[in-house]
């Protein structure tokens, strides 16, 4: 395998995209960070700078390391020029199937023939994404965990047509980033979210059905199961809209009602309460960390509906 992965393009400058760019750049790779929004790119650079400052303060890197990392990142608003000469593209756009298919179709035209096209998708079929290209053997999933510079795991997902050469190159690359790559097969949600999202959904159902409150549910899981963060706070951190999208992929992909998203989650996303990114989810992040009123409102409404249903059953 003489092909070397040296120059990287990252598509999407949001939380995952800027974290992936940060990580590659810190390990000496030249990175083109691509987004259609110039302001989003500047915000991403600011975020990367602040995260590097924290690493300097903790003495895990030096000031020189920080400067070298930032110098390795170049921003682009044009996809064609941003991917023209890279060896690997990592797509980290919104978890939307149609958007990803459009991006990969364009990438197949713009990237050099030998370039590997990877998706950071956390649930969408790599086989389906690869079908939008004419290089299915070079399309793979590279699912980083958030926050990317800190978390060790990378799920490496082989699509139906993904070659052993591509898989081995990406596994080796992840190790060079000081990550632990785990190869998995292409089924909805892969491993991480196939297990994680039903747990989060069940926690939301427990709240929705009045089993316990937000604080109580999260405390049980933190102290009883040694989780560093409760499932409701974790859902806020991931983004409630992202959780909903992944659950919909699982539900549609397997056709199993156990993956159906809780109505409370659907209502909160519809109301624009998406967690940390919107300032409010199961917790309110506007002034410290406290339980949000909106979740309680939706729960009370659901409980009243349940009581009304029970009364109707008794009367009949």
Which residues are catalytic, by number? 122, 143, 155, 193
Question: For residue 167, what are the contacts with CB-CB under 8 A and spacing of at least 6?
Answer: 140, 156, 158, 183
SS (H, E, C) 292-311: CHHHHHHHHHHHHHHHHHHH
User: Would the CA dihedral through 150, 153, 157, 158 be positive or negative?
Assistant: positive
Give the three-state DSSP class for 250: helix
Q: Is 212 exposed, middle or buried (0-12, 13-18, 19+ CB in 10 A)?
A: middle
Cβ–Cβ < 8 Å for 8, 32:
yes
Nearest-5° Cα angle at 9, 74 to 58: 65
How many CB atoms sit inside 10 A of residue 307's CB?
11
Dist CA 112 CA 20 (whole Å): 21
DSSP for 193-240, written as a single string? HHHHHHHHHHHHHHHHTTSS-HHHHHHHHHHHH--SS-HHHHHHHH-H
Place of tokens 């393009």: 9
Cβ–Cβ < 8 Å for 108, 83:
no
Dist CA 310 CA 192 (whole Å): 37
Dist CA 220 CA 149 (whole Å): 28
Question: For residue 252, what are the contacts with CB-CB under 8 A and spacing of at least 6?
Answer: 188
């Amino acid at each position: 395998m003489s092909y070397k992965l040296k120059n990287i393009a990252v598509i999407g400058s949001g939380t995952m995209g800027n974290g992936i760019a940060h990580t590659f750049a810190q390990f000496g790779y030249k990175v083109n960070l691509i987004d259609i929004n110039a302001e989003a790119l500047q915000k991403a650079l600011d975020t990367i700078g602040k995260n590097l400052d924290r690493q300097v303060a903790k003495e895990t890197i030096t000031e020189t390391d920080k400067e070298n990392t930032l110098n390795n990142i170049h921003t682009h608003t044009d996809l064609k020029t941003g991917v023209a000469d890279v060896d690997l593209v990592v797509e980290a756009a919104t978890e939307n199937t149609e958007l990803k298919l459009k991006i990969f179709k364009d990438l197949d035209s713009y990237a050099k023939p030998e370039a590997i096209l990877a998706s950071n998708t956390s649930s969408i079929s790599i086989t389906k994404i690869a079908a939008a290209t004419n290089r299915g053997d070079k399309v793979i999933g590279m699912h980083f965990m958030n926050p990317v510079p800190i978390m060790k795991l990378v799920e490496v997902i082989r699509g139906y047509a993904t070659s052993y050469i591509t898989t081995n190159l990406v596994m080796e690359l992840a190790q060079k980033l000081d990550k632990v790559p785990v190869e998995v097969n292409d089924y909805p949600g892969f491993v991480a979210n196939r297990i994680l999202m039903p747990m989060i959904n069940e926690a939301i159902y427990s709240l929705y059905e009045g089993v316990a409150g937000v604080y109580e549910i999260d405390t049980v899981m933190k102290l009883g199961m040694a989780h560093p963060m409760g499932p409701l706070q974790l859902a806020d951190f991931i983004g409630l809209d992202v959780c909903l999208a992944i659950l919909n992929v699982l539900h549609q992909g397997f056709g199993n009602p156990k993956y159906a998203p809780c109505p409370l989650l659907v209502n909160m996303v519809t109301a624009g309460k998406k967690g940390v990114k919107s300032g409010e989810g199961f917790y309110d992040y506007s002034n410290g960390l406290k339980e949000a009123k909106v979740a309680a409102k939706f729960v009370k409404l659901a409980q009243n509906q349940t009581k009304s249903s029970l009364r109707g059953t008794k009367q009949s």
